[in-house]
Amino acid sequence: QVQLVESGGGLVQAGGSLRLSCAASGLTFSYYVMGWFRQAPGKEREFVAGIGLTYDSTYYADSVKGRFTVSRDNAKNTVDLQMSSLKPEDMAVYYCAARFDTTRGRTASRISEYRYWGQGTQVTVSS
C-alpha cells in the first residue's frame, strides 16, 4: 500500500521560510517522479514543483520560481520542498504526489499525471 505523508507545515510570517517533507512508503521510490501541489480555499489545486528520477530534473511554477526548491533523497524515500520569501498568497494546503516513471529527466505538472497523493499539510502565512 502506497503512502505519502507530508510534514513541516505551520504558521510563518511573510518573508519567512518553511521546509516541507514528504515520506513515501510502499513503492520503489527511485522509480517515481514526485510533485508538490497546493490548494488555497476556494481555489483549484495547482502545481508548485516537481522533481524527476534524477536529482537535477526539477521544474517549478512561475509563481514560486527562485523562492522554492524541491529535492529528493532516494535513500530515505523523501522529497522536500524548501520555501523561502513566503508570501500571503502562498498560504494553502500543500500536497505531495507520486507518479511512476522510467524515463530520467522527465517531470510532470498536471494533476492527472499523478496517481498517489498525500493528505496534505497546511501552510499559513501571516502578513
As given in the structure block, the three cell numbers for residue 92 are 494553502
Q: Is the pLDDT of residue 12 over 90?
A: yes
What's the length of the chain? Answer: 127
User: In 3-state terms, what secondary structure has residue 16?
Assistant: coil
Residue entry with cell 489545486: 45
Q: Is the pLDDT of residue 56 over 80?
A: no
* Model confidence band, residue 39 (pLDDT cutoffs 50, 70, 90): very high
Q: Is the pLDDT of residue 8 over 90?
A: yes
Cα 40 to Cα 123: distance, rounded to the nearest angstrom: 10
Residue 104 has what pLDDT?
84
Residue 107 has what pLDDT?
85
CA 16 to chain centre: 18
- Any bridge partners for residue 93, and if so which? 39, 122
Q: Is the pLDDT of residue 122 over 90?
A: yes
Given a contact cutoff of 8 angstroms between Cβ atoms, the answer to whether 33 and 51 are in contact is yes
Residue 123 has what pLDDT?
98
Residue 55 has what pLDDT?
76
Averaged pLDDT of the chain:
96
Q: What is the mean pLDDT of the segment spanning 24-33?
A: 96
Residue 105 has what pLDDT?
81
Residue 18 has what pLDDT?
98
Q: What is the mean pLDDT of the segment spanning 45-56?
A: 92
Residue 54 has what pLDDT?
81
